[in-house]
Structure 1
Amino acid sequence: MADRIPLALVGIGKIARDQHIPSIAGGDDFVVAAGVSRHGKVEGAENFTDFNAFLAARPDIKVVSLCTPPEVRFDMAKAAIAAGRHVLMEKPPATTLGEAEALSELAAKAGVTLFATWHSRFALGVEPARQWLSDKVIQSVSIVWKEDVRRWHPGQAWIWEPGGFGVFDPGINALSILTEIIPGHIMVETSVLEFPENKKQPIAASIAMRTVEGAPVTAEFDWRQEGPQTWDITVQTNAGELRLSKGGSELYIGGNEQASGPDREYAGIYERFAKLIRSHQSDTDYQPLRIVADSFLCGERKVVAHFED
């Protein structure tokens, strides 16, 4: 425990309790020394309700993990960077590309680590999928990412507000895997975004994209799926089919299972963060956020039925 790096966890909500706290406790690199939240607390740590008060009171804590909604994250990250802290940002890293790119520049100038995390990239099947696809010709990619918002985001009204991303909050997980396993840029051609008549963010999206080489890429996101949930990415190549299922935790090549196992996504995030800090590096790949932004730029808005969550 003495060798662990003290860390402040900011935003003690569902994702912090379900994933960050147990993953930090189960790893060897960090210990939660402080919590910052208006409503939640971390047991066994010093807790603050104001972020700037934390920065002033605990200059000894050099690492900050931001688990807040994205619309408030820029000011916190900027303040932390100015105070010389290393910063981890939950996905999506910021509300806009402008904010994200500004933070990268600020971190580089300050000489601190900035880590824009994409937890789905750490799913068990993603890295072996990337390796297998690295020398293949990509013929097409199909993403089907459908889940029940009532199950996974209960009472989280912020996701329907401007900057809350709507169905792209889970959809960006698929895009993070896509941009990790497919070499080169992915470009948006068209999109259809379905907005419930009482919401400000989309509940579903259909996106047509292409690789630089011209291979078609399609994505279907929907937050209204009841029963079994669907998180699949299927890639057709010159050497056969690759499929990632259950959010990347299962990998099939030619229909044969190649990898499966327990969830270690957030454990992987914190292992990566520790390595970045120790090597004085940052990791700020904003490709998934760019695809979301491009989908809105190219998007046809479609109003659908009233939705209550």
Structure 2
Amino acid sequence: MKIALVGIGKIARDQHVPSIAASNAWELAATCSRAGRVDGVPAFTDLDEMLESHPDIPVVSLCLPPVPRFEFAKRAILAGRHVMLEKPPGATLSECHALEDMARKAGVCLFASWHSREGARADAARDWLADKVITRAHITWREDVRKWHPGQDWVFDPGGMGVFDPGINALSLMTKILPQPVHLKSATLEFPDNRQTPIAAQLDFTDGVSADFDWRQTGPQTWDIEVWTEAGKLHLTDGGEHMMIDGVPAGQDPSLIGEYPRLYAQMADLVAQSKTDMDLSPLRHVADAFMLGRRVPVDAFHF
């Protein structure tokens, strides 16, 4: 199938473009971006012009920041195109629900993609935990915003989500592997004096689940989930790429290597089956954190 990429920034270049190029299911047929482009691929700066010029492209993948994404998704859906949404699928829950309603009425597929759910050991962790009694769980998700979003002030603007930009990856993995849903009880959100979104967060969920997110970590990055059960301890590291049971490596590599290649394989299946996948549980947890969170001021942050 032909596919168009909208928003040619770091995540598109690092993940989307190579994943599409390596897939037998997809052909990158056009891009739309204010400045970025992919060599050898027709480039546009206006979405409507791209859609009108390429009625042969049935699928649009949106790699834009969350705030402008709704309008682009809406226009693509109303033009009869299937849409794949980079995480998070929108800036608010309401606009995500609106997009799902539009897609169903238009008869097109809509995919809220959560790349951390495609970690190499995510399925194995879900399967191992399926029949276990969980006593507690803790998420440690600490990384360096300067490394992953260099100079991108939008992540600290309203709608940019702050530390929940990476933290939602942890929540997407959590909601995949835990056998029973949990909900937030309390949260502490650390806001730099000069920013509109938090740089760190501590979360307390039901059933003994807790999380620690921080965007100020330098050196090695930490993306871990630990789950204690009556049958032993499961430990996922590197965002789900590695798994241990009581300290012993476990789980097998999936047949298709890489989070984004697996996402694009899912999108191909959804289009083939005329299905929509708009699971919003990770975003719901983020919304709850902003509603319940106790705000704590911290030192100003500068790139």
TM-score, reference length from structure 1? 0.96
Q: How far apart are 1:183 and its partner, in Å?
A: 2.4
Q: How far apart, in 2, do the equivalents of 1:194 and 1:261 lie?
A: 37
Structure 1: stretches of 5+ with no match in the other structure: none
Within the alignment, does 1:108 sit opposite 2:104 as a pair?
yes
Q: Residue 125 of structure 1 contacts residue 248 of structure 1 at CA under 8 Å; is this kept in 2?
A: yes
Match of 1:272 among 255, 266, 277: 266
Structure 1, residues 104-143: CA drift from partner, whole Å, max 9, x if none? 1111111111000000000101000001111111111100
Q: 2:238 aligns to what?
A: 246
Within the alignment, does 1:122 sit opposite 2:122 as a pair?
no
Match of 1:85 among 71, 81, 86: 81
Within the alignment, does 1:224 sit opposite 2:207 as a pair?
no
Q: Residue 139 of structure 2 contacts residue 170 of structure 2 at CA under 8 Å; is this kept in 1?
A: yes
Within the alignment, does 1:303 sit opposite 2:297 as a pair?
yes
Aligned CA RMSD, in angstroms, stands at 1.1
Q: 1:192 aligns to what?
A: 188
Q: How far apart, in 2, do the equivalents of 1:260 and 1:35 lie?
A: 36
After TM superposition, the runs of 4+ consecutive aligned structure 1 residues lying more than 3 A away are: 259-263
TM-score, reference length from structure 2? 0.97
Q: How far apart are 1:254 and its partner, in Å?
A: 1.4
Q: How far apart, in 2, do the equivalents of 1:59 and 1:141 lie?
A: 48
Q: Residue 2 of structure 2 contacts residue 26 of structure 2 at CA under 8 Å; is this kept in 1?
A: yes
The residue type equivalent to 1:177 in the other structure is: L
Q: How far apart are 1:54 and its partner, in Å?
A: 1.1
The residue type equivalent to 1:69 in the other structure is: P
Counterparts in 2 of 1:277-296, with a 5 A limit? Answer: 277-296=271-290
Q: Residue 131 of structure 2 contacts residue 179 of structure 2 at CA under 8 Å; is this kept in 1?
A: no
Q: Residue 124 of structure 2 contacts residue 252 of structure 2 at CA under 8 Å; is this kept in 1?
A: no
Q: 1:256 aligns to what?
A: 248
Match of 1:148 among 144, 147, 150: 144
Size of the aligned set, in residue pairs, is 301
Match of 2:92 among 71, 93, 96: 96
Q: Residue 80 of structure 1 contacts residue 86 of structure 1 at CA under 8 Å; is this kept in 2?
A: yes
Structure 2: stretches of 5+ with no match in the other structure: none
Structure 1, residues 12-64: CA drift from partner, whole Å, max 9, x if none? 00000000000111111111100000010111111100111111211111100
Counterparts in 2 of 1:19-98, with a 5 A limit? Answer: 19-98=15-94
